[in-house]
């Protein structure tokens, strides 16, 4: 009888693992979101500074405000990298993270930016946020004003 109990228990445990989580738990579903940013550098935009702006996203984020602190590292005339930490505030919570971009002067006053975004923290409805994506920006006034698009794949939203 004891051997039958052990085998039955082992089979039940194996079946539970094969089926997956029980009690309503499920794997985190990835959501793809696109957001637009309109950013305004405060003061001289080099070598470091802060930006404020507006963010327009698909649901569940919606419209909000953006704040970031950044550091510019020139690598050659008209080229370089930017490291930033950001917070976006929405009606239902905040999202925070980091961005790493490269930039290239594309004209006398125009600049193109591209890089990655990583979400590291959230509050409210977004407290479980994780993931990241890509960011592309353009500026026609040497970086004082930027227009950006962010494409992200996120969980916890």
d(CA 127, CA 143): 31
**Residues 17/10, Cβ–Cβ less than 8 Å:** no
Task: Convert the pLDDT of each residue in 71-129 to its tens digit.
Answer: 999 999 999 999 999 999 999 999 999 999 999 999 999 999 999 999 999 999 999 99
Q: What is the mean pLDDT of residues 13-23?
A: 37
Reported confidence tier of residue 45, pLDDT bands at 50, 70, 90: low
Q: In whole angstroms, how far apart are CA 47 and each of 16, 51, 68, 81, 120?
A: 56, 13, 14, 10, 24
How sure is the predictor about 28, in pLDDT bands with cuts at 50, 70 and 90? confident
Note the pLDDT of residue 43. Answer: 76
Domain locations in the chain as residue ranges:
28-155
d(CA 98, CA 120): 8
CATH architecture for residues 28-155: Beta Barrel (2.40)
pLDDT at 5 over 60: no
Where in 10-144 does DSSP place strands (E)?
31-42, 48-57, 63-76, 79-90, 93-105, 111-122, 130-139
């Amino acid at each position: 009888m004891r051997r039958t109990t052990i085998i039955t228990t082992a089979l039940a445990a194996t079946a539970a693992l094969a089926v997956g989580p029980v009690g309503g738990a499920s794997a985190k579903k990835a959501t793809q979101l696109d957001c637009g940013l309109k950013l305004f550098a405060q003061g001289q935009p080099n070598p470091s500074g802060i930006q404020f702006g507006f963010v327009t996203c698909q649901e569940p984020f919606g419209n909000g405000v953006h704040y970031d602190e950044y550091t510019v590292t020139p690598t050659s005339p008209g080229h370089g990298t930017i490291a930033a930490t950001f917070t976006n505030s929405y009606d239902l919570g905040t999202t925070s993270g980091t961005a790493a971009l490269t930039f290239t002067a594309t004209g006398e006053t125009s600049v193109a930016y591209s890089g990655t975004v990583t979400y590291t923290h959230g509050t409210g409805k977004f407290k479980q946020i994780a993931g990241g994506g890509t960011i592309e920006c353009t500026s026609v006034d040497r970086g004082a004003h930027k227009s950006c698009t962010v494409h992200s794949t996120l969980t916890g939203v």
